[in-house]
C-alpha cells in the first residue's frame, strides 16, 4: 500500500513536469538494454512546515544518461577482452 499523499488528495492534478532539453540518445546497444534492464524509482520529498504540507517534490531520474555513458564503455571492454583473449591464446600455443 502506498503512503498517504496529502498534496494529491487536495490537488489531484497539481504537478509540474520538467524535462531536460539536452538529453543525448542512448549509445548502448539494444541487446544491453534487454540483458541489463535498469529501473529507477521515483524519489519523493515533502515540502512542509508542520502542520502544513506545501507540496511534494517528486524526482524520477532519467535512464538515458546512464545508458549513453555505459554504451561506449561496454564496447571498449568487449574490445579489450577480445585482445586479451587473443594474446592469451597466442602465448599458450
pTM score, whole prediction: 0.46
Extents of the domains making up the chain: 6-13+26-92
pLDDT digits (tens, 9 = 90+) for 66-76: 777 777 788 88
Work out the pLDDT band at 19, boundaries 50, 70, 90: low
CA dist 65 to 24, 28, 39, 56, Å? 7, 10, 13, 25
Backbone angles phi, psi at 32, to 5 degrees: -70, -40
Sign of CA dihedral 38, 39, 42, 43: negative
Work out the pLDDT band at 90, boundaries 50, 70, 90: very high
Report whether 40 contacts 61 (CB < 8 A). Answer: yes
Q: Which three cell numbers stand for residue 59?
A: 524526482
Is the pLDDT assigned to residue 82 strictly greater than 60? Answer: yes
Report whether 44 contacts 6 (CB < 8 A). Answer: no
Residues whose CB falls within 8 Å of the CB of residue 43, separated by 6 or more in sequence, listed in order? 58, 59, 60, 61
Amino acid at each position: 500500500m502506498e503512503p498517504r499523499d496529502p498534496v494529491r488528495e487536495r490537488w489531484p492534478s497539481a504537478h509540474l513536469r520538467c524535462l531536460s532539453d539536452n538529453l543525448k540518445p542512448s549509445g548502448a546497444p539494444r541487446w544491453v538494454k534487454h540483458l541489463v534492464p535498469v529501473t529507477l524509482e521515483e524519489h519523493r520529498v515533502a515540502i512542509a512546515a508542520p502542520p502544513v504540507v506545501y507540496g511534494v517534490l517528486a524526482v524520477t531520474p532519467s535512464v538515458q544518461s546512464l545508458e549513453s555513458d555505459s554504451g561506449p564503455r561496454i564496447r571498449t571492454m568487449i574490445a579489450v577482452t577480445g585482445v586479451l583473449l587473443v594474446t592469451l591464446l597466442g602465448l599458450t600455443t
